[in-house]
Amino acid sequence: MIKKIGVVGAGTMGHGIAEVAAISGFRVSVVDISWDFLNRAKERILDSLKKLYEKKSLLEKPEEILNRMEFSTSYEIMRDADFVIEAVPELIELKKNVFKTLDEITPRHTILASNTSSIPISIIAESTKRPEKVIGMHFFNPPPIMKLVEIVPSKYTSEEVVNITIDLAKKMGKVPVRLKVEVPGFVSNRIFLRLMQEACREVEDGEATIEEVDSTARNKLKLPMGIFELSDYVGLDVAVDLWKVIISSGTAEDVKCSLFQKKVDAKELGVKSGKGFYTYPAAGKYKKV
Ligand code: 3HC
């Protein structure tokens, strides 16, 4: 019986996942390393809740939902969590340390999930003494809007834990897709990689402009955003990282193309830095292209 959900990391994904959990009626504890991050997360959650409330998508007032949430820089608030979702940056050593700490601090029944988009769950699981209770639960940005959640068991994950996680995703109003094989990038980011590779090649070979490729993605593929626009939205550093992780695993062929890497080298990371392939009103402020 899950009553309290812990979320580690209050960034782009973490704050959104925490918000969805609270909207779904769970008590939620959010941990991050600084109060700057936590206060920013609270503001973003309140903004999003207000938007959803105005659209009559919520049964409760934003303040009532926020009242179910607690924030801290200490893992102590995870002591009574039944299910924890980690959403810290995609660095293997960092994730392993977070899971080691969670393993020490949470009760034995607690399921530990990672929102990783590319790191193998079995490697994360091996940093705990409960690998059968470790699972991937991969949300998409923005979590309050995007329905898909990839459920990624490792070779250690028990069937019971898989079923509880699928059930939780449904209770959070999501559409779970369970992976059959643990493969880097899972289902969605492998498709996203192919889109980025081809979009990048077409522009670098001078076949079409960034705007033309994006217009094609929107008007032919019917994607809600163009491929470069989506990459800006996800963060170009994140996009390049997942590109590298999938390629270095040897499970997909690479396409030589440097547009994305050049942007990252220039610290133009997309929406989060205010400039990527497109320019945005301010750092972190998304505007439709
Ligand atoms: N909370 C509440 N409401 C939100 C919101 C949020 N966080 N983000 C957007 N909205 C609302 C807006 O307020 C707006 O409401 P309105 O229609 O009443 O005005 C509505 O959603 C649409 O937003 P916009 O008008 O700003 O722009 P769009 O119509 O382009 O929609 C979008 C924005 C929902 C983000 C849409 O473009 C979209 O679905 N894009 C694709 C996103 C996607 O593919 N995400 C996955 C990325 S990959 C990933 O995350 C995995 C990782 O591992 C890389």
Q: Which domains does the chain have, with CATH numbers?
A: 4-178 (3.40.50.720), 188-273 (1.10.1040.10)
Length of the chain: 289
Is 117 tagged catalytic?
yes
Contact 165, 114 (CB under 8 A): no
Q: For 240-252, what is each residue's pLDDT tens digit?
A: 999 998 999 999 9
Assess whether the C-beta atom of 140 lies below 6 angstroms from ligand 1. Answer: yes
10 Å Cβ neighbour count for 46?
Answer: 15
Quote the ligand 1 centre to 188 CA distance (angstroms). Answer: 17
Is 204 tagged catalytic?
no
**Where are any strands of DSSP class E within 9-53?**
27-31
Assess whether the C-beta atom of 234 lies below 6 angstroms from ligand 1. Answer: yes
Catalytic one of 19, 86, 150, 202: 150
Contact 52, 29 (CB under 8 A): no
Q: For 17-69, what is each residue's pLDDT tens digit?
A: 999 999 999 999 999 999 999 999 999 999 999 999 999 999 999 999 999 99
* Tokens linked to 87: 């959403």
For the whole prediction, is pTM greater than 0.90? Answer: yes
Q: For 136-166, what is each residue's pLDDT tens digit?
A: 999 999 999 999 999 999 999 999 999 999 9
3-state secondary structure at position 149: strand
Contact 130, 161 (CB under 8 A): no
Pocket test for ligand 1, best of 43, 145, 195, 219 (most atoms within 8 A of CB): 145
Eight-state DSSP code of residue 285: B
**ipTM score of the complex?**
0.94
Which neighbouring-strand residues pair with 149?
176
Question: Distance between CA 72 and CA 30 in Å, rounded?
Answer: 6
Please compute Rg for the chain using Cα positions.
Answer: 19
Catalytic one of 114, 118, 189, 231: 189
Contact 96, 124 (CB under 8 A): yes
Strand-by-strand arrangement of the 69-72 sheet: 69-72, 27-31, 4-8, 83-86, 111-114, 134-138, 148-153, 175-178
Peptide bond into 131 cis (omega under 30): no
Assess whether the C-beta atom of 145 lies below 6 angstroms from ligand 1. Answer: yes
